[in-house]
Structure 1
Amino acid sequence: MKIREDLVLRHIGDDHIIVDPGQDMVDMSKVFTLNDSAAWLWEKLAGREFTSSTMVDLLVERHDLPYNQAEEDIRKLVEVLEKNGLLDKLANAG
């Protein structure tokens, strides 16, 4: 899978917001915010293909979590990213 290359992660105060710079007008009903860990993962993975396992490994390395907890967290994150069209559909096999 791959994060859509047209999206940009912006840091505004303490918030991490995903912006679609291609929109003529910002649709405030489609603003996505990420927590610190998800934003860190986004930055680590932007511009490259990756798998859920890659995401789990990065999360475990950064937070020293039990592997099964990291797997569940990543499963939920990927589900949200896919549901909201934030992943590149052409590379979405992983």
Structure 2
Amino acid sequence: MKIKEDFVLRKVADSYVVVPVNKLTLDFNGIINLNETGAFLFEKLQSDCEKADLLKAMLDEYEVSEEKASADIDSFIKKLEEADVLE
């Protein structure tokens, strides 16, 4: 899975936002706000990867249980799918 090319992540003050660029500005109105972990996962998803890759990256970066990280990744991916951000 991978983030569509026309979505970019930006840090604004202490917040992370995802905004559409190019042709997606016509179809997608608004922005997506992310916390630090969401931004971390978003950056990983800018390259094609699988859930197992995301899980390994989260476990390497954060002090979190595998079960909690897995559930958080599932929730994050679901929200990205609902917003039609994934290819």
Question: Shorter-chain TM-score category?
Answer: 0.7 to 0.9
Query: Structure 2 matches for 1:57-76, cutoff 5 A?
Result: 57-76=56-75
Aligned-residue offset at 1:44? 3.0
Unpaired segments ≥5 residues, structure 2: none
Is residue 44–residue 54 contact of structure 2 (8 Å, CA) maintained in 1? no
Aligned-residue offset at 1:21? 1.3
Deviations along 1:31-89, one digit per CA (max 9) or x if unpaired, are: 2011101102222331x21111111111111112111111000000000001100101x
Measure, in 2, the Cα distance between the counterparts of 1:44 and 1:74: 12
Instruction: Identify the structure with bigger relative contact order (alpha carbons < 8 Å, sequence gap 6+).
Output: 1
**TM-score, normalising length from structure 2?**
0.87
Aligned-residue offset at 1:20? 0.6
Root mean square deviation of aligned Cα: 1.5
Measure, in 2, the Cα distance between the counterparts of 1:79 and 1:42: 13
Structure 1 stretches of 4+ with a deviation exceeding 6 A read none
Give the fraction of aligned pairs with identical amino acids, expressed as a percent: 27
Measure, in 2, the Cα distance between the counterparts of 1:20 and 1:57: 28
The residue aligned with 1:37 is 37
The residue aligned with 1:51 is 50
The residue aligned with 2:18 is 18
Classify the secondary structure of the residue corresponding to 1:76.
helix
The residue aligned with 1:91 is none
